A = this chain, B = another copy of it.
Amino acid sequence: MALLVQKYGGSSVGTLDRIQHVAERVIQAKQQGHDVVVVVSAMQGETDRLIQLAENLTAEPHPREYDVLVSTGEQVSMALLSIALAAKNCKARSYTGLQTGILTDDAHMHARILDVRTDTIRRDLAEGYVIIIAGFQGVNALGDITTLGRGGSDTTAVALAAALKADECQIYTDVEGVYTTDPRLLPEARLLPQIGFEEMLEMSSLGAKVLQMHSVELASKHNLPVRVLSTFKEGPGTLVTFDDKVMQKRLVSGIAFSREEAIIALSGVPNQAGIEGKILGKVSDAHIEIDMIAQYTTDKENTDFTFTLQRKNYAKTLKIVEHLAQELGAVSVTGNENVAKLSLVGIGMRSHSGVASTMFQALGDVDIHIQMITTSEIKISVMINEEHLEQGVRAVHTAFELDKLGEHPQHIGVVAQSV
């Protein structure tokens, strides 16, 4: 008998039929002898509907009251799931973040969990209840309702699981787990049976929206096993863990990508101390977030400065940079608003060389021009034209034999010697 925390997202509880289905899933776990604590998101579309109401009243809703408003979304779904369970003769009790005692700081709309009270949950579990907790919300020291920001239900689930010392935190979604890359782009993508926390963090930060980043950090901090599974299809899903017996042998785990990127380059900038801060300062003053940065000093007098950003900010940023280029006496400003980021992620990179060259060669073999490169310990990111994204992902995916993952049990992903 284990203590499981199960989290069901907005699409999993998006209709009454789906809520009935989730109830069956919960009862199944209960019948297997487990203690079950369930965290639910708002029904799909409900949070947006509530935000729309507030924003139709005013462009900037009062943060305290905004949280009072949107937190009702999870309250509705937790009550409905609890009603569905009770109707199937499964004893259930639902609690809001405030009632549970999910204590957060005061940062309305993007609060952080400080502590989780577990006394009520433990009492109810001992009495045989399934406990349903509203995700995404908590209460501050004043007793005011707070929300954690988008995707916060994952964080609620992980924080609860950590506080309860649960055996596993199961995140139910509309995908079967974590794939080697997005199967909507590449049908030959394979489900990863296991992935490391750091890899998962990189995948999350790179746009693979399976788990909210902060929740992965939190799980890794508490060394809490997290399993990503499908609400709709039976299967083992993907276990996110530190236990990397399997993963150590694997060179790379997956390919993440993000579209809607843009790149801007300033070249021939007269070199001077603090020039980078001057350029980035102007951009950040306009509240524009920068992603990758690269600088090449071509000669003693001049430097080239390149950065990437979200495509929606491209035009605005280009104007700022062009203005700046005149001020600084730079030679030219060039840009490209049709790029995408492709990133190879894997713990195995740490101990094995040759990964970057294999990746670049794979892209070169299909005539894809790399416009910018950044690397970290377990990731290599390149910017390429967006029109080549699918081709690029497939080339790299095949080069690392990710499409053959799991075909031979002894050969999970590409092992070092095969490079």
Contact = CB atoms under 8 A, between A and B. Distances in A.
A330 to B, nearest CB: 44
A58 B76 contact: no
Nearest to A53: B80
A59 to B, nearest CB: 8
B82 A62 contact: yes
Interface in A43-98: 50, 53-54, 56-58, 60-62, 64-66, 68-69, 71-72, 75-76, 78-80, 82-84, 86-87, 92-94, 96, 98
Contacts of A20: 57
A143 interface: yes
Interface in A78-123: 78-80, 82-84, 86-87, 92-94, 96, 98-99
A71 to B, nearest CB: 8
B83 A78 contact: no
Contacts of A76: 50, 53, 69, 72
Interface string A220-234: 000000000000000
A8 B72 CA distance: 20
Contacts of A93: 64-65
Interface in A279-316: none
Nearest to A66: B83
A366 interface: no
A57 B84 contact: yes
A179 to B, nearest CB: 33
A320 interface: no
B62 A83 contact: yes
Given A16-B57, A19-B57, A57-B20, A80 B84 contact: no
B58 A83 contact: yes
A414 to B, nearest CB: 48
A82 to B, nearest CB: 4
Contact of A99 (B19, B66, B143): B143
Contact of A80 (B19, B57, B82, B92): B57
A68 B75 contact: yes
Nearest to A67: B79
A60 to B, nearest CB: 8
B83 A57 contact: yes
A137 B19 CA distance: 25
A117 to B, nearest CB: 12
Given A62-B87, A75-B68, A80 B94 contact: no
7 contacts: A16-B57, A53-B76, A53-B80, A57-B87, A58-B83, A65-B94, A69-B79
Given A65-B83, A69-B83, 15 more contacts: A57-B83, A58-B84, A64-B93, A65-B79, A65-B82, A65-B86, A65-B92, A65-B93, A68-B75, A68-B82, A69-B76, A69-B80, A72-B76, A98-B98, A98-B99
